[in-house]
Amino acid sequence: MTDTRPGGAASRRAFLAAGLVAPAAAALAPTGLQAQSPAAAGARHSIKLGAVTYNIAKDWDVPTIIKNFTAAGLDGVELRTTHAHGVEPSLSAAQRAEVRKQFEGSAVKIAGLGTTCEYHSPDPAVVRKNIEETKQWVQLAKDLGCPSVKVRPNGLPKDVPEEKTLEQIGRSIRECAQAATEAGVRIQLEVHGAETQRVPRIVKILTYADRHPGFWLCWNSNPTDLMDGGFDKNFGLLKSRIGQVHMRDLYVEEYPWQRLINNLQDMKFEGYCFAELGDISTDGVRVLKYFRGMFRQFEGIVTPPLTAPNA
């Protein structure tokens, strides 16, 4: 079956076909956007832009991430677990200090740690293991000076009432959020999972967590955002708790990227928008540059050209 969802194979091919042959990212701006006056464009809120190491940067170590993200003009990175950078809870105190030093000496910030911790299992021992692992990531984030740890819902067991599972996820995240708050870190729940990414279910999870102040959300730019009353309703339900955003191919017209970015600008969003792109090119820096250019065009903000990276 052809994968046409944002970030899928077909959309990636469309991105490459359109983006990598364009003479400049400005040529890829949405219809009517270039007609915006410089004064109006300059008045817009500029959003911090980064990328997830999944999957475009999965083979880059920390120095390469810093070099390539700097070359692409990105502000921050979400370091996803299991990738070549090796930033994991198993790092020693000295290794954590070295990673922190490398990022603090650069223009690229560690903006998030991307885990695969999840809390839907019907086995209490598995849930407890994931909670304790989340707390280890929270400590790592604190040691690195990183503001957030991303976790996820990832399923609804068939033999368990849905409401019970949603409550279990919410209560588990509340415990993690409390530990995060004590460490000066936020938990970011990714709007994730074939069933659990539906916004009404995310609202229930948030409610079962008592809307703990350490519990935030990673808006994941899913096709299901257009269901259950539509994009505007769903965004409005989660707006006050969106702490970060994952974005896929901006060339995919089926998703309302312009409305999303406008909404984030209107609310003076202070988190990061992360490009979460597949391994779609051997020239990852070039792809990230095009993503940055397209994103800034959607924002309506004129940015200076990027300088060539040092050899």
- Answer whether residue 2 is part of any domain: no
Tell me the pLDDT tens digit for each residue of 113-156. Answer: 999 999 999 999 999 999 999 999 999 999 999 999 999 999 99
pLDDT, residue 32, reads: 36
Could you give the number of structural domains in the chain? 1
Tokens of 5: 């969802």
Q: How far apart are CA 182 and CA 180, in angstroms?
A: 5
- Answer whether residue 25 is part of any domain: no
- Answer whether residue 79 is part of any domain: yes
- Answer whether residue 67 is part of any domain: yes
In the block, tokens 């000066």 appear at 184
pLDDT at residue 279 tops 50: yes
Burial class (CB in 10 A: 0-12, 13-18, 19+), 173: buried
- Answer whether residue 1 is part of any domain: no
- Answer whether residue 30 is part of any domain: no
Range of the domain at 235: 9-20+38-299
Tokens of 26: 């400005």
Tell me the pLDDT tens digit for each residue of 229-244. Answer: 999 999 999 999 999 9
Mean pLDDT of the chain: 88
Band of residue 306 on the pLDDT scale cut at 50, 70, 90: confident
Of 2-16, 139-153, 208-222, 289-303, least confident by mean pLDDT is 2-16
pLDDT, residue 121, reads: 98
- Answer whether residue 198 is part of any domain: yes
Instruction: Name every residue whose Cβ is closer than 8 Å to that of residue 308 and which is 6 or more positions away in sequence.
Output: 71
Task: CATH number of the domain at 145, please.
Answer: 3.20.20.150
- Answer whether residue 64 is part of any domain: yes
pLDDT at residue 19 tops 70: no
pLDDT at residue 280 tops 90: no
